[in-house]
Structure 1
Amino acid sequence: MSRLVRCALALLIVGALTLGCADTGADAPASLPADPSVVKTTAGLVQGVATLDKRNFAGIPYAAPPVGPLRWQPPQPVAPWAGVRDATKVGPRCLQDEGSDLEMGRQTDEDCLTLNVWTPPPAEELRPVMVWIHGGAFINGNGGMYDSRWLVDRGDIVVVTLNYRLGALGFLAHPALGPQGAVGNYGLQDQQAALRWVHDNIEAFGGDPDKVTIAGESAGGMSVCDHMVAPESKGLFRAAIIQSGPCQAQLALPAAERISADYARDVGCGDPAAAAACLRALPDHKLRKPVWYDRIGEDTLSGPVYGTTVLPEDPMVAFREGRAADVPVLIGSNRDEFTLFVALQYLRGTTQYAPGEYPGLLADTFGSDAAAVGARYPLDRYGGSAALAYSAAVTDGVFACIADEMADQLATANDVYAYEFNDPNPPAPEPMRTLPFPVGASHSLELRYLFDVGGAPPLNPAQQQLSDQMIDFWAQFVRTGVPSADGAPEWPAVSGDGPWMSLQPDGSRVAEDFGRQHQCDFWAGLQR
């Protein structure tokens, strides 16, 4: 796979009330709190913002700051606090590379292990909970950007968003950092710590700890795949949502250790005997650069590593062999996933996608299969546009058909519901609207139908109707394990090759030809 595709996969996008003297919180919904903005957690009282229709608690620490001797250690319990902690502002984002971060590294810190809770007003009955894991290639992004008010208002569920360690601080797998097989995956362990926090605390916020769904997009979707096979994640959730998660992009521990040793050498910690102490003594700005940046070969490290105590096996192998968690799964992809990454490369001037570049792009990406791919995705089928032809090929081979394969494998033991987001003209950031080719239903653009993430024009009436329908589908899945929405077609479970729900602003519909549309038989033949 080419550096372009690897770097693109590594850029899976993203990313007040005055405190009073209240001394009681919401111990349980059965006794509704006098002040709904104050909640008692296991570590102390927090005060967020409460309105008539919702509550938001932001920046709640779920683990101790992973700094100093706790750098590259599993997350530790948060220290209790006295009094009432302000929970009206999101915490800093985890340390990120300035070149890949939309705010050029500002508002980031190593002390970043916080989460945010969105809830409807207090009620006697506990609500189901969705824990959202953000995307960003495990090198950028944050939980605070996912304003969850629509899921709370319309879906009547509790939503938790979270930060987790990213880049080198989250996933460096240098063998000196811990016992054999127990290095790397610190960011994944952060997510597990947040899930344990939810189990211990969410009832005080009106959420049901026995009805937790884990969900994520892109790197967040990959994380969900990992939790479905990670031993320490067992029992922490009862359903899973995987959005645009290319879960095949995982790295084995031996390669990760080698790459991590090279990284340590490059930052001045090349002596294996002293590497751990050297790395932990470095100022944090020297660790912003992700591990994968200078890795041009076949092995790159960005995210969780399998073959470790935290993630013993490749989730794709576990899915294929029936060893995933036995929970309902909602899984899907977007119709034009890869156009986003082609657009980013075009806007940066890295590649202009002239027709003459097409054979080289295919050769760089697909190697000896380039000619076969080119025959399947000829330029004339895409109006002579190398950008669209190349996007279609990588969308099908890296995203759509992998999702199709995962859905079929999981469906042998799980109830699986598959979707394709298929709005050909969704709201997109302004630069994406000035390209010489359409981005279509590209990677991450479905998020604007579930969360108020901003940065693009508002939905038109038909898109707003689709947004309402998607929120209903997602919320009902969180509630019952089966997606449904009033006025929408019945969403059947995957059985054999399909069916998939095509989510469209002109009316969603059940599609039986997802695999044919994305030429999945062709891609399966290349993998044999």
Structure 2
Amino acid sequence: MAHVSVPGRALCILSIAVLTVVLAACTRSHGGAPPPAPADPALVQTVAGTVRGVVGDDHRLFAGIPYAAPPVGPLRWQPPQPALPWPGVRDATRYGPRCLQDLGGDLELGRQTDEDCLTLNVWTPAPPADLLKPVMVWIHGGSFVNGSGRVYDARRLVARGDIVVVTLNYRLGTLGFLAHPALGPPGAVGNYGLSDQQAALQWVRDNIESFGGDPDRVTLAGESAGGMSVCDHLVAPGSEGLFAAAVIQSAPCRAQAALPVAAARSIDYAAGLGCADPASAADCLRALPADRLREPVKFTSIGEDELSGPVTGTEVLPVDPMTAIREGRAARVPVLIGTTRDEFTLFVGLQYLREEANYTPQDYPRLLELTFGDDAATVAAHYPLDRYGGVPLAYSAAVTDSAFSCPAEDIADSLTARGVADDAARGGADDAVYFYEFDDPDAPAPEPLRTLPFPVGASHSLELRYLFDVGGAPPMDSAQARLSDQMIDYWSEFVKTGAPGRAGGADWPDVATSDRVMSLQPDGNRLIADFADVHQCRFWASLS
């Protein structure tokens, strides 16, 4: 595919607030009985100590539980260490602070950020439970530079879906991904944020049964940067066996930064902070006040600017995930993957709102050249302004198709090819792939996005409020509320069984048995056969 340069500052303000163990059998069975329930359902014993959460009519919430030691002082830029035990009962009624991030991109209205941030939140159905519940571990988006697990209120998902949901924080930006060679042995630097996610999965393996969750039925899920993280874990050696299924939402699982590039940029970043001497750089960096590290190190090519992100060629992520997926080296687990119909309108809209853009027809060639380089004229011929109704929508369609829709189809096809011949020989698949497109053109959006001179439609992140209560937008109408229930049914059935089935109102076949895509729409879900044609995937493949 042609190189796509997505406007970076927009991606820096991603979706989140605008808005396992290997399978025991080919079809996952229900887990065993949970441990004896305590007299007080608000109390749960973890490996590190007892926590007290909140018990509602239809759910329980245990918030702000440490899953690793505070990554401060000498533990800054070190792999996560086990959580420190605590005496007595720890209050788990309030969320922990967000991980340190640039407050210039703060979409959570000034909520606390801190370097000591490695906590998670456990949502469960209301007790009692006769059997252990399947678990979904959710990784938040935010372009690896902002966001937190607290945004995702999972009450409806656990109550209606009858599953356990875990949301988590992980180190972001410079603290999560700086790859300075002075920080550790060769190959052992960078990717601290990904290591945090692995530590959270290990915590789930060791503790979730006490909350009524089944450690043998863990689905790893995420959207945008969270979905990109899931792609990484599908190929990361340290993630093997920690989850039994995966959900990838709106994630352009593109090539990650290579270690030599990330190391060079990290050295420049450290020098800018006064830590240029290689012999003392590590001590110098660890002595800096945390506030001086809010600006993310920039080495990942995802836009006009460059941002933080995972690093390949390291112990945590030895190979680029897309390369490994295409070569059939991804984990053999069921995968649910998809995109929204109009992904990129969000980012163009944010540019308008910041008064950085007011695109006219004269701007279109420049935008395409900036984004697609030598292929700009060819892209313009396939995305003419008169077909799409102006620059914002034509440009959004081109980037949606090239950076989201068609790459997602490529991932789905590559994952499906992991072992089709083997599956046919043994008469069943435990690694089926299910593909969707969220297509509600009137999806509730935050007020600023509703004032733009063009419709954002089914934009990036707007499907999240159909699964979680994320706030900040008008209520759904009755048809949208029905779609929300159906999506929760599909997702929770996938978490339970590894297949969405027909829980959401229409039978959903896997990619290997049907070339059609599940289109999620308020007026009824349906299988569509023209996804690749609508998004011009053959055209984008020709530019590879």
TM-score relative to the length of structure 1: 0.95
| Match of residue 20 from structure 1 | none
Instruction: State yes or no: 1:376 paired with 2:382.
Output: yes
* Structure 1 segment 37-116 matched on structure 2, within 5 A: 37-103=42-108, 106-116=111-121
| Match of residue 316 from structure 1 | 322
2:16 aligned to which of 9, 14, 17: 14
| Match of residue 159 from structure 1 | 165
CA distance in 2, matches of 1:163, 1:436: 35
Show CA shifts across 1:482-503 (max 9, x none). Answer: 0034462210111388321000
CA distance in 2, matches of 1:187, 1:497: 37
Q: How many pairs align?
A: 515
Q: Judge conservation of contact 1:98–1:104 (CA < 8 Å) in 2.
A: no
Assess, with a 3 A threshold, how the Cα gap between structure 1 residues 4 and 234 changes in structure 2: closer, same or farther.
Answer: closer
**How far is 1:272 from its partner?**
1.5
| Match of residue 275 from structure 2 | 269
Q: Judge conservation of contact 1:469–1:485 (CA < 8 Å) in 2.
A: no
Assess, with a 3 A threshold, how the Cα gap between structure 1 residues 187 and 466 changes in structure 2: closer, same or farther.
Answer: same
**How far is 1:299 from its partner?**
9.0
User: 1:210 is aligned with what amino acid?
Assistant: D
| Match of residue 465 from structure 1 | 482
| Match of residue 242 from structure 1 | 248
Q: Judge conservation of contact 1:137–1:218 (CA < 8 Å) in 2.
A: yes
Show CA shifts across 1:25-70 (max 9, x none). Answer: xx97242221000000000000001123211000000000000000
CA distance in 1, matches of 2:307, 2:330: 24
User: 2:81 is aligned with what amino acid?
Assistant: Q
User: 1:355 is aligned with what amino acid?
Assistant: P
Q: Judge conservation of contact 1:97–1:104 (CA < 8 Å) in 2.
A: no
1:135 aligned to which of 131, 141, 157: 141
Instruction: State yes or no: 1:213 paired with 2:219.
Output: yes
* Structure 1 segment 334-345 matched on structure 2, within 5 A: 334-345=340-351
**How far is 1:513 from its partner?**
1.4
Q: Judge conservation of contact 1:415–1:494 (CA < 8 Å) in 2.
A: yes
* Structure 1 segment 220-231 matched on structure 2, within 5 A: 220-231=226-237
User: 1:133 is aligned with what amino acid?
Assistant: I
CA distance in 2, matches of 1:267, 1:313: 30
Assess, with a 3 A threshold, how the Cα gap between structure 1 residues 177 and 496 changes in structure 2: closer, same or farther.
Answer: farther
Assess, with a 3 A threshold, how the Cα gap between structure 1 residues 7 and 439 changes in structure 2: closer, same or farther.
Answer: same
| Match of residue 520 from structure 2 | 503
Assess, with a 3 A threshold, how the Cα gap between structure 1 residues 34 and 332 changes in structure 2: closer, same or farther.
Answer: same
**How far is 1:5 from its partner?**
2.6
Q: Judge conservation of contact 2:255–2:322 (CA < 8 Å) in 1.
A: no
Q: Judge conservation of contact 1:168–1:291 (CA < 8 Å) in 2.
A: yes
User: 1:5 is aligned with what amino acid?
Assistant: P
| More RCO (CA 8 Å, sep 6+) | 2
CA distance in 2, matches of 1:160, 1:144: 10
* Structure 1 segment 403-418 matched on structure 2, within 5 A: 403-413=408-418, 414-418=431-435
Assess, with a 3 A threshold, how the Cα gap between structure 1 residues 438 and 297 changes in structure 2: closer, same or farther.
Answer: closer
| Match of residue 21 from structure 1 | none
CA distance in 1, matches of 2:514, 2:374: 28
Show CA shifts across 1:427-480 (max 9, x none). Answer: 000000000000000000000100000000011100000000000000000000
Q: Judge conservation of contact 2:235–2:329 (CA < 8 Å) in 1.
A: yes
Assess, with a 3 A threshold, how the Cα gap between structure 1 residues 149 and 103 changes in structure 2: closer, same or farther.
Answer: closer
**How far is 1:266 from its partner?**
1.2
Q: Judge conservation of contact 1:30–1:124 (CA < 8 Å) in 2.
A: no
Secondary structure (helix, strand or coil) at the match of 1:286 reads: helix
Q: Judge conservation of contact 1:256–1:301 (CA < 8 Å) in 2.
A: no
Show CA shifts across 1:244-286 (max 9, x none). Answer: 0111051111111111111111111111111111100000010
CA distance in 2, matches of 1:427, 1:355: 29
CA distance in 2, matches of 1:167, 1:302: 5
**How far is 1:10 from its partner?**
3.8
Show CA shifts across 1:133-161 (max 9, x none). Answer: 00000100000110000111110000000
| Match of residue 284 from structure 2 | 278
Farther off after superposition, 252-261 or 491-500: 491-500
Secondary structure (helix, strand or coil) at the match of 1:81 reads: coil
Assess, with a 3 A threshold, how the Cα gap between structure 1 residues 29 and 438 changes in structure 2: closer, same or farther.
Answer: same
CA distance in 2, matches of 1:482, 1:497: 14
Show CA shifts across 1:170-192 (max 9, x none). Answer: 00111111100110000000000
**How far is 1:310 from its partner?**
0.3
* Structure 1 segment 28-43 matched on structure 2, within 5 A: 29-43=34-48
Secondary structure (helix, strand or coil) at the match of 2:105 reads: coil
Show CA shifts across 1:167-212 (max 9, x none). Answer: 0000011111110011000000000000000000000000000000
1:446 aligned to which of 455, 463, 479: 463
| Match of residue 481 from structure 1 | 498
Q: Judge conservation of contact 1:148–1:159 (CA < 8 Å) in 2.
A: yes
Assess, with a 3 A threshold, how the Cα gap between structure 1 residues 168 and 5 changes in structure 2: closer, same or farther.
Answer: same
Secondary structure (helix, strand or coil) at the match of 2:338 reads: strand
Assess, with a 3 A threshold, how the Cα gap between structure 1 residues 316 and 487 changes in structure 2: closer, same or farther.
Answer: closer
Q: For structure 2, list consecutive stretches of 5 or more residues without a partner in the other structure.
A: 18-31, 419-430
CA distance in 2, matches of 1:326, 1:486: 24
Show CA shifts across 1:77-136 (max 9, x none). Answer: 111111000000000000010111124664000000000000012312000000000000
CA distance in 2, matches of 1:321, 1:394: 26
Secondary structure (helix, strand or coil) at the match of 2:175 reads: helix
CA distance in 1, matches of 2:523, 2:302: 43
| Match of residue 334 from structure 2 | 328
Q: For structure 1, list consecutive stretches of 5 or more residues without a partner in the other structure.
A: 16-26
**How far is 1:392 from its partner?**
0.2
| Match of residue 515 from structure 1 | 532
Farther off after superposition, 124-133 or 347-356: 347-356
Q: Judge conservation of contact 2:52–2:90 (CA < 8 Å) in 1.
A: yes
| Match of residue 23 from structure 2 | none
Farther off after superposition, 211-220 or 487-496: 487-496
**How far is 1:330 from its partner?**
0.1
Q: Judge conservation of contact 2:8–2:307 (CA < 8 Å) in 1.
A: no
Instruction: State yes or no: 1:260 paired with 2:266.
Output: yes
Secondary structure (helix, strand or coil) at the match of 1:208 reads: strand
CA distance in 1, matches of 2:335, 2:63: 28
Assess, with a 3 A threshold, how the Cα gap between structure 1 residues 487 and 3 changes in structure 2: closer, same or farther.
Answer: closer
Q: Judge conservation of contact 2:35–2:209 (CA < 8 Å) in 1.
A: no
User: 1:193 is aligned with what amino acid?
Assistant: A
CA distance in 1, matches of 2:504, 2:336: 20
**How far is 1:14 from its partner?**
1.3
| Match of residue 494 from structure 1 | 511
**How far is 1:4 from its partner?**
5.0
Identity over the aligned pairs, expressed in percent?
69
CA distance in 2, matches of 1:296, 1:500: 27
CA distance in 2, matches of 1:416, 1:479: 15
| Match of residue 201 from structure 1 | 207
| Match of residue 118 from structure 1 | 123
| Match of residue 393 from structure 2 | 388
